[in-house]
Structure 1
């Protein structure tokens, strides 16, 4: 058996890498978290960086050998708390990268010894790691050297902006989103100068995509002179101008798939790309222009397209017709993707699945459904890998993975788990009450699809991989105890939209700095446990209206100021940031009559001029609302306080809904 195990490990051993990211210290506790990723070597570091926000990437010798399916542990000489205790390494990559381990560090620790050990307690990776302590979230700490002409050129473009235009540039930049999640927040840009802003952009987007994002932002500002400079800079450094706003990762753009008529199996890993996102209401669409033949993998959805020629891809998720599937003895096993592309451009499609190794054993478990105007066709896979189902593409329309109902019944009986993930979203406080939404989902649901439906809720990054069994009941426990959790137990189902509802809701009646969440199955076996740091409360009272009594506003005493009104001043948000939080709800809900009254009050308090008031008014109510809140928010906290106080006076119902009272 020992010989067989060594042979098995030899054939399953792959080149891996250990990536480390240090999160900024929390303002009060000063606790820091070191995120540890165990990943295949072909995952570009820039893709992981793009999902780590303002965490600092710790450079170290990352190469190691890892075994697919092997369980690993982390140890450090300082005896810091580590979660989880064990984690399984998988070849599955993206679309979401979650830390494999999290190490809780004391503040200002300068170095640490980290060891990765396998199931036999043998060291597979050991390093002395020098930690770079990140500064406050609003101040970029790292200062990479300006190494080339392009970086200098980008800084020079911002140097040519006046102070007002530069402030406007940062405002637009903070609204560049990943789904509904800002990649660079307004707080990060608050005190950043021109050079620091470029560093933040390069850190989040990579050098190649920074110029693309800058071009988009300047275009929104109608800064044609700077756009021309940027065009000259991109042409001089790259020699070409891209047709798409989304660029390939520079690490993988030279990697192509070898595709021929006789052999469609990819010979090399696909190049990874981050598509351009467009979100309308809660619907997300993706766009990317493939530069030529080869294989290309979307970092957000996990889809792989094998191309025969250059072409633009447009794709989105759509709703399954489950009654039609059931008549064919099938049920959804992944999102249904509507894909548009010129005929004959895509020759092969790889759809990500969420099966474990054991779950892939039965033949006929997975297949692909193709919907056209002529009806539904079942396509048998060319190959099923550990992560994807590969099919030939006759022509593009709607494709999705399905399970066979008969096979699925046998899986339920044997309780075969699938790859799952636990996603956490913290809602904005409503009269002092915060709610933490906990989602149990299959691992092949793209994060932007879930985030788009969560409104202003804040996504909490945490290591989320786990294994879940379809049809089995799970319960959630929270420490400290005393918080209300509903429901008590919930059955896990592989639902793929169109709506994503939280599996559990945790009502945080106090304001804890962190909680420990545990998911258990019906046998009380722990399947996921994490210590979750929580952001502080984000509700503030209206400046200038602190002394107003609830009775004066016609409200009962308990409906007056929120619980956070008694917090210290440093825990309250400035009024302009509060307006930013409720911007979308304000635009969607405010009436035309209320807008007219708000404009009159803004004019009376000299927040706007008569000419500005006339320019803000349009025949379209939503556009007028957008003009008003954006114009006032840009004028700063004092002007924003006037708008908030005016709204509380003329529309008490809306101000309560927006939690502005």
Structure 2
């Protein structure tokens, strides 16, 4: 930014007709706006694996509001970004010069989602936002129907190359289709499964992704039985959708936090510093009596939604780490009472407030 200004951006589906001939996508397509015109430099993410002089093949495409395309030379190219200087805003994206139908490997992800007794397997480029994928998948299903299975997702994938997925024990679970092309490297905003594994029973499953032409394994992971135990074929309880840790902590322990938040000043200061609370909201909390302070704060955080609850969890972990540990693992202490704390167990902000 040259001076202060507002930047608005969103990703858009690729329309490869707009690509300059001889170029293919190397990252998401962004629609960027800056009403004040003060934006002068941009970093565009890519997921290319470089070898030799590979960086020289990366550039940036600029698509004007009239849908005219031009290729811009990068100011700088790193392992993660293509940097350019700009004069105006519209649509931009990282691209690479490459003959059509010939692709080099890119960094990819294999993401797993459990829906009842079906394991949905998604092949995506690494520059997607996993939390965005989870939210989009959640909207496709009824609440609680699908669960994100956390595993090691990183791999290298070649666009428009055919891959096969197999499961171990071999033949016990049905995989469909038997093979599929990696095509979601361009327009991947629908986040649809590339493969589906129909689970026959609750048991450990080993998945192996191989390139069909070479039979070379590009990704392998073991999913323990307890991670797929939410399947209706083996349990009466529906699977839970993925919830970030801070939101999960907030909702799971909200009732206990109403009575357990004893020292609010460092917490309120932290929340005000990261702009979760404004001065008026902080004053409203401080003007309440007794436990109503805690209740008022938690009600505000509930209304502000997930990002505010994530910040609250981070601030609480800094201000009162032992309270967080006690709420998350009360069985570690043997009883529901507070463990005894010496002065060295208290963090600095807590010591100051006790002294105050």
Q: What's the TM-score bracket when you normalise by the shorter of the two chains?
A: 0.5 to 0.7
Q: How far is 1:441 from its partner?
A: 1.6
| Aligned positions of 1:271-310 closer than 5 A | 307-310=1-4
Give the secondary structure class of the aligned counterpart of 2:84: strand
Change (3 A) 1:495 1:464: same
Change (3 A) 1:328 1:357: closer
- For 1:369 and 1:381, locate their aligned partners in 2 and report how far apart those are by CA, in whole Å: 10
Q: Are 1:424 and 2:112 an aligned pair? A: yes
Which consecutive unaligned segments of at least 5 residues does structure 2 have? Answer: 242-356
Q: Give the TM-score taking structure 1 as reference length.
A: 0.32
Q: How far is 1:357 from its partner?
A: 2.1
Q: How far is 1:525 from its partner?
A: 1.4
- For 2:28 and 2:191, locate their aligned partners in 1 and report how far apart those are by CA, in whole Å: 12
Which consecutive unaligned segments of at least 5 residues does structure 1 have? Answer: 1-306, 540-562, 579-661
| Alpha-carbon displacement from aligned partner over 1:331-363 (angstroms, at most 9, x marks no partner) | 222111112233333221111111112175263
Q: How far is 1:460 from its partner?
A: 1.6
Change (3 A) 1:361 1:446: same
Which residue number in structure 2 is paired with residue 372 of structure 1?
A: 64
Q: How far is 1:519 from its partner?
A: 0.9
Which residue number in structure 1 is paired with residue 13 of structure 2?
A: 319
Q: How far is 1:393 from its partner?
A: 1.9
Give the secondary structure class of the aligned counterpart of 1:452: helix
Which residue number in structure 2 is paired with residue 123 of structure 1?
A: none
Which residue number in structure 1 is paired with residue 180 of structure 2?
A: 490
- For 2:231 and 2:181, locate their aligned partners in 1 and report how far apart those are by CA, in whole Å: 33
Q: Are 1:474 and 2:163 an aligned pair? A: yes
Which one of the candidate residues 81, 88, 103 is aligned to 1:388? 81
Which one of the candidate residues 200, 209, 213 is aligned to 1:519? 209
Q: How far is 1:449 from its partner?
A: 4.0
Q: How far is 1:497 from its partner?
A: 2.8
CA contact (8 A) 1:445 1:496 kept: no
- Number of residue equivalences: 229
Give the secondary structure class of the aligned counterpart of 2:201: coil
Change (3 A) 1:441 1:359: farther
Tell me: higher relative CO, structure 1 or 2? Use CA pairs within 8 A at least 6 residues apart.
Answer: 2
- For 2:28 and 2:83, locate their aligned partners in 1 and report how far apart those are by CA, in whole Å: 15
- For 2:118 and 2:24, locate their aligned partners in 1 and report how far apart those are by CA, in whole Å: 33
- For 1:394 and 1:495, locate their aligned partners in 2 and report how far apart those are by CA, in whole Å: 26
- For 1:426 and 1:311, locate their aligned partners in 2 and report how far apart those are by CA, in whole Å: 43
- For 2:31 and 2:71, locate their aligned partners in 1 and report how far apart those are by CA, in whole Å: 16
Which one of the candidate residues 482, 501, 508 is aligned to 2:199? 508
Which residue number in structure 2 is paired with residue 612 of structure 1?
A: none
Which one of the candidate residues 223, 226, 231 is aligned to 1:532? 223
Q: Are 1:452 and 2:147 an aligned pair? A: no
- For 1:394 and 1:538, locate their aligned partners in 2 and report how far apart those are by CA, in whole Å: 53
Q: 4+ residue stretches of structure 1 with deviation over 6 A? A: none
Q: How far is 1:400 from its partner?
A: 1.1
